[in-house]
């Protein structure tokens, strides 16, 4: 039993070539230390940009005049699968479209 445990431990040890040097691990740790506080802020900013883009794409369907509707009309089928998440995040309990059955 002890021999099996020792053999399993030996098999799980990584060779020295596969582990990065200490300075690369230290650099990675410093990078994480610097970027960790901003990760949530950057994710929120990206989500806000996506929300604005979704509003721009579906503005004409929502009754808002959109000068770029000619260009965004062909993108609507691609983003329709994300529409349910978007309209619930924007506070619309039901789907505002009659022709889209997401809710």
φ, ψ of residue 30 to 5 degrees: the values are -65, -40
Instruction: Collect all residues with Cβ–Cβ distance below 8 Å to 25 and sequence separation of at least 6.
Output: none
Does the pLDDT at position 2 exceed 60? no
State the pLDDT at residue 35. 86
State the pLDDT at residue 100. 64
State the pLDDT at residue 69. 80
Instruction: Collect all residues with Cβ–Cβ distance below 8 Å to 93 and sequence separation of at least 6.
Output: 103
Per residue in 48-74, pLDDT (tens digit) is: 999 898 888 888 877 888 888 888 888
What are the structure tokens assigned to 73, written together?
């009309």
State the pLDDT at residue 86. 84
- The answer to whether the CB of 57 falls within 8 A of the CB of 72 is yes
Q: How many angstroms from the chain centroid is the CA of residue 19?
A: 29
State the pLDDT at residue 9. 61
Per residue in 76-101, pLDDT (tens digit) is: 888 888 888 888 888 887 777 766 66
Per residue in 3-56, pLDDT (tens digit) is: 555 555 656 665 556 778 888 999 999 988 888 888 899 999 999 999 898 888
Q: Which pTM value belongs to this model?
A: 0.58
State the pLDDT at residue 6. 55
Question: Rounded distance, CA 87 to CA 94, Å?
Answer: 8
Q: How far is CA 15 from CA 7, 11, 21, 69, 70, in A?
A: 15, 10, 12, 58, 58
């Amino acid at each position: 039993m002890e021999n099996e445990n020792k053999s399993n431990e030996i098999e799980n040890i990584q060779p020295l070539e596969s582990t990065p040097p200490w300075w690369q691990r230290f650099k990675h740790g410093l990078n994480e230390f610097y970027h960790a506080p901003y990760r949530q802020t950057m994710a929120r900013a990206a989500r806000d940009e996506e929300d604005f883009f979704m509003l721009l794409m579906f503005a004409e369907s929502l009754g808002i005049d959109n000068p770029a509707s000619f260009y965004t009309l062909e993108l609507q089928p691609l983003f329709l699968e994300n529409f349910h998440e978007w309209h619930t995040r924007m506070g619309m309990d039901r789907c505002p479209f009659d022709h889209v059955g997401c809710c």
